[in-house]
Amino acid sequence: MFITFEGIDLSGKSTQAKLLYDYLRRKKKKVILVREPGGTAVSEKIRDILLDKSLKKMFSLTEFLLFSASRHQLTEEVIKPHLKKGYFVICDRYYDSSTAYQGYGGKIEMNIIKNINTIASNKLNPDITFFVDIDMKESAKRRYSMKKTKDRMESKKVDYFNKVIKGYRSLAKLHRNRFVLLDGKRTIEELQNDILNTLKKKNKNV
């Protein structure tokens, strides 16, 4: 089963991805946890470029193609071989991030996004996607309390992120069969319970 987590920065998706990973490990299931961009030697190098704040000039298409290149490498090198061996694969972000950030948030035409997403993922689709939804106020509040500095992507304008959030909400409506929308302001425990209950309904093996 291919499980993905989506949401804006600091929504709490990595926390939930890790909790699910720990739960499945405790249950002695075959499971891996990966993140995007990253997860392979090549993809981690691409990640460094994408998040490097000193790179002031990056065209939108360059950015999108780099995310896609990183995704293709991770898909072929790690995700597909593990799915074939019967693993649960949990991925912190997948192609919906590109649709939300580079499509809804950025300037890339949606049909280009769709086509490249299909090529980069080689037609692999998540079985279920947990979208942890918070607004920009909550994200800023968490950043302030964590004293977290901004990387290149996080340095974009508030307007951009509001479009990303709206984009994720549209995606959740467009793909109701796959998306599970979660209110990210609820407690970590409440969210984890919801995620586990939803998964148990979908997969008896969880």
Out of 115, 166, 188, 205, the only residue in the binding site for ligand ADP (CB under 6 A) is 188
Residue 15: name its binding partner from ligand TYD, ligand ADP, none (Cβ under 5 to 8 Å by kind). ligand ADP
DSSP character string of 46-81: HHHHHH-TT-----HHHHHHHHHHHHHHHIIIIIHH
Per-residue contact flags (x/-) with ligand TYD for residues 43 to 82, judged by CB under 6 A: ------------------------x---------------
Residue 15 interacting with ligand ADP (CB under 6 A): yes
DSSP character string of 92-139: ES-HHHHIIIIIIISS--HHHHHHHHHHHHTT---SEEEEEE--HHHH
Q: What SS3 state is found at 6?
A: strand
Which residues inside 23-42 make contact with ligand ADP, applying CB under 6 A?
Answer: none
Would you give the end-to-end CA distance of the chain in angstroms? 10
User: Interface with ligand TYD by CB under 6 A: which range of 17-25, 26-34, 98-106, 133-141?
Assistant: 98-106
> Least distance to ligand TYD from the beta carbon of 142, Å?
11
Contact residues: ligand TYD, CB under 6 A:
9, 14, 35-37, 67, 92-93, 97-98, 101-102, 153-154
